Amino acid sequence: MLARLRQICMAIPGAFEKLSHGEPTWFTGPSGKVFAMFDNHHHGAARISVHLAGTIEQQEALVASDPARYWVPPYVGHRGWIGVVLDTDPNWDEVASLVRDAHALVSAPRSRR
C-alpha cells in the first residue's frame, strides 16, 4: 500500500516525501505544504489509510457516499481533510485522483481556494 501511494504522490512534479510525526508525508514544491500523509495505525487508528487535503464540502460528500471507505481524520478533519482507507482493496485510480486534487488544493494561490 505504501509503495503504491508513494508512486502516486511522487508522480506529481515538485512533490517530495519526508517523515512527519513518524509517518511518510508528501509536500508540495516551493511552498512545502503537506498534501498527503500515510497513516499506519498512527495514534492507534483501526485502519491503514492516507489523509488528504480537501474541502469541507468534498469531505462531507465522500464520507456520506461511502463511510466504510472515507472518514474524517483526527487533528486535520475539521479543516476538510479526508481519510481514505487503503487496507481494504481501494480503487487506486480514485485514490490517485484524490491525491492530485489534494496537491492542487494546497498548491493553489490563496485567492483560488
- CATH number, domain at 76? 3.90.1150.30
Q: What is the DSSP letter of 77?
A: G
Q: Which three cell numbers stand for residue 110?
A: 490563496
Q: How many CB atoms lie within 10 A of CB 10?
A: 12
Q: How many CB atoms lie within 10 A of CB 65?
A: 9
Range of the domain at 91: 2-112
What's the total number of domains in the chain?
A: 1
Residue 112, pLDDT score: 47
pLDDT for 3-58, tens place per residue? Answer: 999 999 999 999 999 998 889 999 998 778 999 999 987 666 678 999 999 999 99
C-alpha–C-alpha distance, residues 5 and 95, integer Å = 8
